[in-house]
Amino acid sequence: RKNKLRNYRGIIKNKFQLLSNSKFNFCFENISNFQGYISEKIWDSIAAGSIPIYWPSWEIPEEYIPRRCYIDASKFPNFNALFNYLESITDKEIIDWSNMLIEFSKTKKQEVSIDNYSDIIIEQIKNDT
């Protein structure tokens, strides 16, 4: 590669702090073709302002997570094309993108909170029983 990307190796003591100091975060879902599934991976990255390089489980609706909030790795023909794209992003674009992610995360904070998810799950269990 013309610009070698630095990668973190080792035990992570504080994920948020690590991501806050990272330009990008590879956050691929470990389940495919499961509509509605979005794990913490992308949310952690967004909240920290680390641009998510995301491989979603399904086609996420724009109103839930706008496409401008992540790089959809599944849309690239191969990893070389993805890395070429990442290398083309300027430092200013990365800073602007990171700031936009942090602001976006503030608007979604309550919606994606553990309390909210717990309430949804409890309500669904009540409805199912």
Q: What are phi and psi of 116, to 5 degrees?
A: -65, -45
Tell me the pLDDT tens digit for each residue of 33-72. Answer: 888 888 889 999 999 999 999 999 888 888 889 999 999 9
Per-residue pLDDT reduced to its tens digit, 64-111: 899 999 999 999 999 999 999 999 999 999 999 999 999 999 887 666
pLDDT of res. 53: 97
Q: Name the more confident of 112 and 128.
A: 128
Please state whether beta strands 51-55 and 24-28 pair in parallel, antiparallel, or not at all (unpaired).
parallel
pLDDT of residue 46: 94
Which string of DSSP letters, residue by residue, matches 12-76? -S-HHHHHHT-SEEEEE-SS-S-TT---HHHHHHHHHTPEEEEE-SS---TTTS-GGGSEEGGGS
What is the pLDDT at residue 79? 94
What pLDDT, on the 0 to 100 scale, is given for residue 116? 66
pLDDT mean over 7-36: 87
Confidence at residue 8, expressed as pLDDT on a 0 to 100 scale: 67
pLDDT tier, 114 (very low <50, low <70, confident <90, very high otherwise): low
Please give the model's pTM, rounded to 2 decimal places: 0.78
Structure tokens at 31: 């389940």
